[in-house]
Amino acid sequence: MKTDLQNRFKLAAIDLDGTLLGPAHDISAENLRAVQRLQAAGTQVVLASGRHYNSMLKYARALPGVQWIVSCQGGEVSDVDRQTILGRKFLAAADVKKTMDQGRCLGFTTIAYSVDGVVTDFRPDTQSDFEMKVYTDLAGHRPDVLATRDLLARDLFKVIWMGEPAALSHLSLADVTSPAIQAVRTHARFLEFMPVAATKGAALRLLAARLGIASSEAVVFGDGDNDIPMFEWAGTSVAMPHGWALALRSAKHVAPAGPAETALARGVDLVLQPAPECVPAGSTTCSNLQ
């Protein structure tokens, strides 16, 4: 029997990279139809990403009907036009300086997210440009270079260390965080630092309160460890089958296996047509959907 989606889900929050977007950083036709299917049932679709608002806007514009954006790992909650800001959470200036100094000391390239865009005090004459090229390829834009004093004078949502995966994996997070700062791995080459209160889950809680929607009426889709707070908040959560191991264990469901660029579509199918033989989180298949 088909699920009455409108009675179940009033809000659907969707991560970008690895979820809505495929490996080529675009929205497949299948994923687009899945979003439209949610919207047709009266579900408010929200984009929730670690990306900067500026980087998310083109994807929101490609999805008519999307009204709200959660950006910077939950550091900002705004409407699509950024005329209404529901909340912003910034790192303390002293924490920014400490984190960037420590990152450079350990040999990582550092960038930061400000209200206006992505910035760095990177100096190509003294540092390798490799990590900056990796970031530019993924995000679609190169960070603006500022003098260190100008960078530190800005309100900043988060700091990212970029470097060799093995070097990041060997770090002890207890040594690089503080009571005010959390760290989350978002890419093999990226480690991000944000205020402890800045999470996708906290941002969605704020937005849902504004919209009068309960967490039990929300479904969320993601693939990374930074999606876990929204998995924990929402009544229904779906991880992409190619996602990070901890994310797969944290979600209530895992979308059926298949091409990464259509994983979201399969996840939407899963929650719209649940069946007893569907296996919860920990499995990447669902027998009735294969």
Kindly report the CATH number assigned to the domain that includes residue 123: 3.30.1240.10
Asked if residue 178 and residue 144 are part of one domain, the reply reads yes
Asked if residue 101 and residue 83 are part of one domain, the reply reads no
Mean pLDDT for back-to-back runs of 10 residues, the chain (290 residues):
57 98 96 96 96 96 97 98 98 94 93 97 81 91 94 96 95 85 94 97 98 97 97 98 97 97 97 60 40
User: What CATH code is carried by the domain that includes residue 255?
Assistant: 3.40.50.1000
Asked if residue 188 and residue 152 are part of one domain, the reply reads yes
Residue type, 95: D
Asked if residue 72 and residue 101 are part of one domain, the reply reads no
The four Cα atoms 257, 263, 269, 271 give a dihedral, to 10 degrees, of: 90
What distance, in Å, lies between the first and last C-alpha atoms of the chain? 18
> What is d(CA 153, CA 151) in angstroms, rounded to the nearest whole number?
5
Residue 156, domain extent: 93-195
- The answer to whether 163 and 107 are in contact (CB under 8 A) is yes
What pTM was estimated for this model as a whole?
0.90
Asked if residue 146 and residue 102 are part of one domain, the reply reads yes
Asked if residue 188 and residue 102 are part of one domain, the reply reads yes
Asked if residue 212 and residue 269 are part of one domain, the reply reads yes
Provide the pLDDT for residue 289.
Answer: 31
- The answer to whether 211 and 44 are in contact (CB under 8 A) is yes
Provide the pLDDT for residue 128.
Answer: 79
- The answer to whether 219 and 233 are in contact (CB under 8 A) is no
End-of-domain residue from the set 149, 180, 195: 195
End-of-domain residue from the set 195, 230, 265: 195
Asked if residue 206 and residue 181 are part of one domain, the reply reads no
End-of-domain residue from the set 135, 164, 195: 195
Provide the pLDDT for residue 176.
Answer: 83
Q: Classify residue 224 by its DSSP letter.
A: S
Q: What is the 3-state secondary structure (H, E, C) of 19-43?
A: CCECCCCCECHHHHHHHHHHHHCCC
Total structural domains within the chain: 2
Token pair for 143: 């960070």
Asked if residue 202 and residue 190 are part of one domain, the reply reads no
Provide the pLDDT for residue 290.
Answer: 26
- The answer to whether 248 and 280 are in contact (CB under 8 A) is no
Residue with tokens 């470097």: 163
- The answer to whether 56 and 35 are in contact (CB under 8 A) is no
Asked if residue 153 and residue 24 are part of one domain, the reply reads no
Closest CA to 49 of 23, 75, 28: 75
Asked if residue 119 and residue 80 are part of one domain, the reply reads no
Asked if residue 228 and residue 190 are part of one domain, the reply reads no
- The answer to whether 9 and 38 are in contact (CB under 8 A) is yes
